[in-house]
Amino acid sequence: MNTLTGADGRQMLNKVPEVTLWFWVIKILATTVGETAADFLNFNLNLGLTGTSLLMSALLALFLVMQLRRRLYVPWLYWVTVVLISIVGTLISDNLVDNLGVALETTTSVFAVALAATFMVWYRIERTLSIHTITTTRRELFYWAAILFTFALGTAGGDLAAEGLNLGYATAALGFASAIGAVAVAHYVFKANAVATFWIAYILTRPLGASLGDYLSQPAADGGLAVGTVITSLIFLSTIAGIVIYLTVTRKDVIGQVASDPVC
């Protein structure tokens, strides 16, 4: 098991899961929950966008601190943090667009620049963007910052494609799924850089999950299947819980030796 000395001198195991099929399944499910849960809290519980943002940001801060204090990867804690950061990323984009009137084109560009800057600083300091070496607190902070911006960027980009370009939820979902398929082909067939293809796929799964969530939950008049945010969120959360329990028992997503992992 790979370990490095953290900023406080402690030995830490890798803090994130191995990238398996289960990883991508949970990631897409989590992004869908990020979309539907934000809508549920905002509209169904009448918390409003501001109230929902404050509540979920507080919860994210709590679980992020818990995650950072751990010295090894804990499946349930890691994925709860991902679900919460998915919701908060969605809310950041929604606040800019709905409360401040910022255009989707602008938010998409801003989040793209913010994500690129995060990667640049991360690589400049650590000389790697690989998730197989998240073994210090500093690297983990870079990791979570990048993930937050991928969710915000994915939300803005997904909304721009589905609503701003009038593609519709189903068409947008198919488009993003096709793009992810192209990235997979680039990686497995043409041996494109593993770290680059990972992060590109990670960004694209956010609008895919969001489009899927909107397609299932939104009214038929808006191009959805009218399943509703409550049922959609419960189905996806239950599925996530089941997979996380399975991974906790089997430990199939615990990263082992990393000598063959690329460093750039």
193-244 per-position pLDDT tens digit? 999 999 999 999 988 888 888 888 888 888 889 998 889 889 999 999 999 9
**DSSP conformation class of 160:** I
Residue 262 lies in a domain: no
Helical (H) or strand (E) element with 220:
none
Write out the DSSP string of 74-123. -HHHHHHHHHHHHHHHHHHHHIIIIIT---HHHHHHHHHHHHHHHHHHHH
Q: Are 119 and 146 in contact (CB under 8 A)?
A: yes
User: Which of 58-67, 194-203, 253-262 has the lowest average pLDDT?
Assistant: 253-262
Domain containing 144: what range? 7-250
Alpha-carbon distance of 169 to 166, in angstroms, equals 9
Residue 263 lies in a domain: no
Residue 256 lies in a domain: no
Burial of 31 (0-12, 13-18, 19+ CB in 10 A): buried
Task: Report pLDDT for 139.
Answer: 94
Task: Report pLDDT for 9.
Answer: 39
Number of domains composing the chain: 1
Task: Report pLDDT for 169.
Answer: 81
Task: Report pLDDT for 14.
Answer: 84
State the pLDDT confidence band at 164, using cuts at 50, 70 and 90: low
Identify the sign of the CA torsion 60, 78, 186, 191: positive
Residue 70 lies in a domain: yes
pLDDT exceeds cutoff 80 at 3: no
Residue 257 lies in a domain: no
Residue 255 lies in a domain: no
Residue 204 lies in a domain: yes
- In the chain, the percentage of residues whose pLDDT exceeds 90 is 54
User: Which of 98-107, 181-190, 218-227 has the lowest average pLDDT?
Assistant: 218-227
Alpha-carbon distance of 205 to 199, in angstroms, equals 10
Q: pLDDT of 104-126, one tens digit each?
A: 999 999 999 999 999 999 999 99
Alpha-carbon distance of 205 to 89, in angstroms, equals 13
Residue 155's closest CA among 196, 218, 203? 203
Give the residue with greater pLDDT, 195 vs 46.
195
Residue 32 lies in a domain: yes
pTM for this model (two decimals): 0.87
**Per-residue buried b or exposed e for 138-173, using 16+ beta carbons within 10 Å of the residue's own CB:** ebbebbbbbbbbbbbbbbbbbbbbbbbeebbbbbbb
